[in-house]
Amino acid sequence: MKQRVVSGMRPTGKLHIGHYHGVLENWVRIQNDFDCFFFVADWHSLTTEYADTSGIKESIREMVLDWVGFGLDPAKSVVFRQSLVPHHSELNLILSMITPVSWLERCPTYKEMQDNLSAKDLSTFGFLGYPVLMAADIILYKAGRVPVGHDQLPHLEVTREITRRFNYLYGNVFPEPEALLTQTPKLLGLDGRKMSKSYGNSIYLSDTAEETTKKVLSMMTDPARVRRSDPGEPDVCVAFNLHRIYVPQEKLDEIIPACRGAAIGCVECKKILADCMNERLAPFRAKREELAARPQFVDDMLADGSNRASLISDTVMAEVRAALKF
């Protein structure tokens, strides 16, 4: 029997290529090897977006189109929406009863996020409880593995602690989930900072080939290479962090010495990159467009996935209630 995997993403809108190579590509890759549950963590969005929820619905749609367009297969994986499976909330409530506040307060992401998002009032009960809801998401399906990046490891540690405490208090109901660590290459954006929606320096999965080419041509290179005749250095070139992902090795073997010897110009070099990116992304973008043209696709798929998820969560919650002698 395949091990069960559960992972979620907060709906932040359309995904950029950093999300793709960091998380989504890995989800797609493991679909055949695990019994996968992937969900839209829309309740988690409320922890930071509670004051303005108007964008969440559209964000879900854009994100799910990216998921399926770029290879998540609802026939292989259960793809669903957290808020359509109310058991997440019921288990969250029960877990919140047994979770010491100190575990949450000492979670490094707690203070960090509050500082990073200082424009928002994150002194809420729900924001503090983010890791509890995440624990509920995971153990509700008795997941064995959780594909996460390094940034989520503290949360997963809280999940494991809560799981042990539940099992200690009420009997062995849940397996202790383990991380399925994925190396996440931190992609640089057009301006050399980390690729991030809020910096406006991203290339989106849903960008057209023309938009992609335009963005790539505007991308920073080696800042020391001012004139075409100056030698460049791929290792410090911003664009080159994308070459490494998209341009075949034989071509890189030509570009690297040509750059160092000023035998190739940055415009030409970035055109090669843009062409490789567009070639690789084209079939996924076409699929995404096809799905986007079907107005009911996202809602229907999430409804179906959520029904399938509920079949599991229903039996697990029955076990939980029995363990609590309710």
State the binding partner of 35 from ligand TRP, ligand SF4, none, CB within 5 to 8 A by kind.
none
- Residue count, binding to ligand TRP (CB under 6 A): 14
Contact call for residue 60 and ligand TRP (CB under 6 A): no
36: which strand partners?
5
Q: Which of 137, 141, 264, 274 binds ligand TRP (CB under 6 A)?
A: 137
Contact call for residue 317 and ligand TRP (CB under 6 A): no
Contact call for residue 138 and ligand TRP (CB under 6 A): yes
Contact call for residue 237 and ligand SF4 (CB under 6 A): yes
Please state, in angstroms and as integers, the Cα–Cα distance from residue 99 to each residue in 57, 109, 164, 167, following that order: 31, 17, 11, 13
For the CA atoms of 273, 278, 280, 283, what is the dihedral angle to 10 degrees?
180
Per-residue binding letters, 142-181, with ligand TRP (x by CB under 6 A): ----x-x---x--x--------------------------
Distance, in Å, from the CA atom of 133 to the CA atom of 127, rounded to the nearest integer, reads 10
Q: Which of residues 185-214 bind ligand TRP (CB under 6 A)?
A: none
Contact 287, 67 (CB under 8 A): no
Distance, in Å, from the CA atom of 106 to the CA atom of 93, rounded to the nearest integer, reads 20
Q: Which of 240, 302, 305, 306 binds ligand SF4 (CB under 6 A)?
A: 240
Distance, in Å, from the CA atom of 251 to the CA atom of 273, rounded to the nearest integer, reads 10
Shortest CB 292 distance to ligand TRP, Å? 24
Pairing of strands 4-9, 35-40: parallel
Q: Which stretch binds ligand SF4 (CB under 6 A): 143-151, 158-166, 219-227, 280-288?
A: 219-227
Q: Which stretch binds ligand SF4 (CB under 6 A): 19-27, 264-272, 274-282, 311-319?
A: 264-272
Kindly tell me which of 24 and 237 has the beta carbon lying closer to ligand SF4.
Answer: 237
Structure tokens at 37: 């549950």
Q: Which stretch binds ligand TRP (CB under 6 A): 3-11, 247-255, 274-282, 288-296?
A: 3-11
Which residue in this structure is represented by tokens 């797609």?
Answer: 28
| SS3 (DSSP) at 171 | coil
**Residue 201 DSSP symbol:** -
Number of other residues whose CB lies within 10 A of the CB of residue 71: 18
Residues within the interface to ligand TRP (CB under 6 A)? 6-10, 41, 44, 134, 137-138, 146, 148, 152, 155
